[in-house]
Structure 1
């Protein structure tokens, strides 16, 4: 998955547990910079709150 391509876009992410997360992707972290070594994206939920989603937790991503 090329997660860096989603930075700056509004997304609908479906996780492997079927949780749906919508919001703007405001960051990407490559696997080498993460612990554990899995790439991730961050989704802005509100002005003060965001969520990080690891690549292995993502079932699908849709640009909305």
Structure 2
């Protein structure tokens, strides 16, 4: 499996396509390294609705593609 270097996306606006065909677009607010996650897979948090009070946690193995958008 290719490492996506997810921590490089923190603070950026991103579009993520998952392996299930779902698209998440918003600010990448955080990164969790594998050793701090259960299961031990890296993940990012993406806020799609500012002010809603939550972020979607997307695991590296679920991400088909990720791109920075403006």
The TM-score, its normalising length taken from structure 1, stands at 0.96
2:35 is aligned with 1:4: no
Partner of 1:23: 26
Runs of 4+ deviating beyond 4 Å: none
Q: How does 1:1-64 map to 2 (within 5 A)?
A: 1-46=4-49, 47=51, 48-64=53-69
Q: 1:18 Cα deviation (Å)?
A: 0.8
Q: 1:23 Cα deviation (Å)?
A: 0.4
Structure 2 residue runs without a partner (length 5+): none
Greater strand fraction, Structure 1 or Structure 2: 1
Distance in 2 between residues matched to 1:62 and 1:50, nearest whole Å: 18
Q: CA RMSD in A?
A: 0.6
Structure 1 residue runs without a partner (length 5+): none
